[in-house]
Each structure stands twice: as C-alpha cells, then as structure tokens.
Amino acid sequence: DTGVSQDPRHKITKRGQNVTFRCDPISEHNRLYWYRQTLGQGPEFLTYFQNEAQLEKSRLLSDRFSAERPKGSFSTLEIQRTEQGDSAMYLCASSPRTSGGVYEQYFGPGTRLTVT
Amino acid sequence: DQQVKQNSPSLSVQEGRISILNCDYTNSMFDYFLWYKKYPAEGPTFLISISSIKDKNEDGRFTVFLNKSAKHLSLHIVPSQPGDSAVYFCAALTGNTGKLIFGQGTTLQVKP
C-alpha cells in the first residue's frame, strides 16, 4: 500500500443525481478525513472518522451529504440530489493516531466532481 | 471567517534564490502549523510542520518560522529549484480533532 487512493478520479453527473465516492486510506491509519476544494481556495474540512466513528461534521456538510466508514477501513461520501454548487474536488486524507506530535495527514489524489 | 490567510496569490523567483511564502492566522488556540505542496491533478503533499511552542523548524531546504506574537508564519525554500513550482498551502490545526484549516494557497513559480 503506497498511499491514499480515491475512486473515481473524475465524475460528471447531472443535477439531481446521486453520486458516491470511495476512499481507501493508508493501512492502519485510524483517522480519515474528507475535504472539499474549490477553484482558488484551500481545502475545506467536511468530516472525519476515528476508526468507524464519525466524530465531527462541518456545517458545510448539508443533509444531502453523508459519509460512512464501515469497519474502520475504507470510507464513502455520498451526495444526494446534486447541485451545481457541489462541483469541486473532494479530497480524502488519513493519519495515524499518535500520542502527542503533529497529526500529519496524507492526502489522496482527489475526486473531481462536475455537476451539469 | 478566514482563520488562516495567505495574502499573496502568487510568487515568482529565480532558480537558486530564496522563496519566502507567508501565512497569517487569527486563532491563538492553534497547536500546530503545517505546509503542504500541491501539484495539478494531485492531492496535497506534506512538507514541514511546526509546533506552536517552537519558533523555527528546519528540514533540508525548507525552514518554517513562527512568530506567535504577530500570528504569522513563513516558509523559506533555499535554494529554490524549478521542481518547487507548485501551489503551497499553509494549514493550522488544534490537537483534539486534527482537522486542518487551510489558507487559500500561494502559487510559486521558480524560473530556471
């Protein structure tokens, strides 16, 4: 396992459709994060998991968004009834839990969503 | 409310010279600061970090300086190389959640 992987890399969908993205973190990393990045901006935090527990959700995450991490391994991010404003790069990151020290997060290549 | 700001959208330097990227923050509760580099079509790659109790951290050509009184940090790259051309993000976190709060990014171009 060489890093965080995300699938698909690109997704084009029509407004109103549902989409689901997958993230496979680095093995044994128990923290997993989702971020969203729009053009000209830095990534914005959406939600994070420690093992299978979803511990925090951003207010950016409307009711149309849901994330899961069954069994504390891979994670999925689903967007229901997509809107054009959902068009963005969706980034996944993972990190090990350490006792003290910085939680370096390792990012995947992202999934670029285009809603037409 | 932009808690982490990178006020320079772009920076151009000559190969071999020093690149200085700046970042300001507003939240004095941040525990760590990190710099990430991002190439097109790739996710951000971790570069270097600094704890809020330090004022300097060095790793090879990269040095990060933290001025807590000014709520300012900077990344120095010496010497700059064309391969350093990328978007650089400053990020901050509080220890409990580990979630990162990013600045808007600065595009660095290193000219040969």
Q: Do A42 and B91 touch (CB under 8 A)?
A: yes
Q: Hey, of A29, A39, A51, A102, which one would you mutate to test binding to chain B, going by the most B CBs within 10 A of its CB?
A: A102
pLDDT recorded at residue B102:
96
Higher per-residue pLDDT: A93 or A30: A93
> Per-residue pLDDT averaged across A47-60, rounded?
89
Phi then psi for residue B8, to 5 deg, are -105, 110
Distance between CA atoms of B110 and B18, rounded to whole angstroms?
10
Closest chain B residue to A6, measured at CA: B43
pLDDT digit string, tens, across residues B26-57? 999 898 999 999 998 889 999 999 999 999 99
pLDDT recorded at residue A1:
52
pLDDT digit string, tens, across residues B49-93? 999 999 999 999 999 999 999 999 999 999 999 999 999 999 998
Nearest CA distance, A84 vs chain B (angstrom): 21
Q: Which of left, alpha, beta for B84 (phi over 0: left; psi -120 to 50: alpha)?
A: alpha
Q: Does B67 touch chain A (CB under 8 A)?
A: no
Residues of chain B found within 8 Å of residue A110, distances taken between Cβ atoms: 42-43
Q: Does B47 touch chain A (CB under 8 A)?
A: no
Contacts 24+ apart (CB under 8 A), B22-27: B22/B72, B22/B73, B22/B74, B22/B106, B23/B72, B23/B73, B23/B74, B23/B75, B23/B90, B23/B103, B24/B71, B24/B72, B25/B71, B25/B72, B25/B73, B25/B92, B26/B1, B26/B2, B26/B71, B27/B3, B27/B92, B27/B94, B27/B101
Q: Does B32 touch chain A (CB under 8 A)?
A: yes
Residues of chain A found within 8 Å of residue B32, distances taken between Cβ atoms: 102-103
